Amino acid sequence: MKYRILGFDPASTRNLGWSVVILNKKPSVTAKIQDCECGTIVAPAFDSDERWRGLWPLFEGTEALIKATKPHIVIIEKTSNFKGGFITGQVSQCIGAILVCCGKYELCVESVFPTSVKKVVAGHGRADKNQVSESVEKWLKPFGKSVKSSSEHAIDATANIVYWLIKKQVLGD
C-alpha cells in the first residue's frame, strides 16, 4: 500500500508551497520514496485591505491537491515568532484555510517549526534558502528525485516532509 504525504509551506495569503511525497508503504525504516512532486499555489493579488480574498483560491488549491493525492497525512509549517505581526497574520490566515480543508476531509495533520526543519534537514536552525534547497536535494538524490527547478516555497514544503520522514526514521544516515 502506498503512503502519501502532503506538505505545505504557507508563505502568505498569496503564496502556498506544496509537496507530495509517496512512499512504497507506511513510514518505517524499510520504506522508500517512490515519487516526489511539488509546486506553488499563487492566488491573485488584492489590495492590502482585501488580502482575505486570496484565501479562497488557496482553499480551492488545497482541496484540489487533497482530492488528487488522497494523502494519509498533511504536514504544515507552523509559524513561530516572526518579526512584524503583519506577516504572521497572513501566514496564520493561510494556515487556517489549509486546516479548514483538512478538517473537511478528516485528515491527520502535523505541524513542524521552520527552525527545527532547518536544523534537522540542513544541519542548523538558521540555514538559508540555498542551504535548505541543497540539503533537500541530498536527501532526495538516492531516490532519483529532485526539486531544483521549484519555487522556494515548494522546496520548503518538501523540506517539511523530509524533516518528518527523518523523525519517523524513514530517512537517515
Averaged pLDDT score across all residues of the chain: 90
Pick the more confident residue, 82 or 43: 43
Is 173 a member of any domain? no
Note the pLDDT tens digit of each residue in 70-108: 999 999 998 755 554 444 677 888 899 999 999 999 999
Is 50 a member of any domain? yes
CATH number, domain of 136, equals 3.30.420.10
DSSP SS3 for 28: coil
- Comparing 22-31, 76-85, 109-118, which segment has the lowest mean pLDDT? 76-85
For residue 147, what are the contacts with CB-CB under 8 A and spacing of at least 6?
19, 36, 38, 133, 136, 137, 140, 154, 155, 158
Across the range 111-131, mean pLDDT stands at: 93
Pick the more confident residue, 123 or 49: 123
Is 134 a member of any domain? yes
Is 97 a member of any domain? yes
Task: Report the pLDDT value the prediction gives residue 13, as an integer from 0 to 100.
Answer: 78
As for how many domains the chain has, the answer is 1
Q: What range does the domain containing 95 cover?
A: 3-167
Which is it for strands 33-42 and 15-23: parallel, antiparallel or unpaired?
Answer: antiparallel
Is 172 a member of any domain? no
Query: CA-to-CA distance for 25 and 33, rounded, in angstroms?
Result: 9
The full DSSP string for 75-98 is: EEEPP---SSHHHHHHHHHHHHHH
Task: Report the pLDDT value the prediction gives residue 148, as an integer from 0 to 100.
Answer: 84
Is 7 a member of any domain? yes
Task: Report the pLDDT value the prediction gives residue 81, as an integer from 0 to 100.
Answer: 53
Note the pLDDT tens digit of each residue in 7-21: 999 987 788 999 999
